[in-house]
Structure 1
Amino acid sequence: MIGKGKSISHTRASMQYGWNQEKDAEVVYSKHLAGETPEQITEEFKIIQEQNARCTNNALSFVLSPTIQDGKELSAKSLGEITEKFLKEMKLQEHQAIGFVHRDQQHTHVHLYVNRIDFSGKAYNDSFIGKRSQQAAENVAKEMGLTTAREVQQEKLDRIKLIRFEIKQIHEKVMAEHRPKDLDRYIKLMEEKDIKVVPSINKSNRLQGFRFEFKGHSLKGSEVHRSMSGSRLVMGIGENAGKGFVKNKDNTVSLMGRATQLSGNIALKLAKQVIKQAIQKSAGFEIGY
Structure 2
Amino acid sequence: MRSLKKSDFAGLVKYITDEQSKTERLGFVNATNCEADTMQAVIGEVLATQQLNTRAEGDKTFHLIVGFPPGENPSEDVLRDIEERLCAGIGFGEHQRVSAVHHDTDHMHIHIAINKIHPTRNTIHEPYQSYRKLADMCEMLEEEHGLQRVNHKSARTLSQGRANDMELHAGIESLVSWIKRECLEEIRTAKTWEEMHQVMSDNGLEIRQRANGFVIESEDGTQVKASTVARDLSKPKLEARLGAFQETEAQAERKAKRRYDKRPTRFKVNTTELYARYQEEQKNLTAARKVEWNNARGRKDRRIEAAKRSNRLRRSAIKLMGGSRISKKLLYAQAHKALKEEIQS
| TM-score bracket, shorter-length normalisation | 0.3 to 0.5
Q: Which has the larger radius of gyration?
A: 2
Which protein, 1 or 2, shows the higher relative CO under an 8 Å CA cutoff with sep ≥ 6?
1
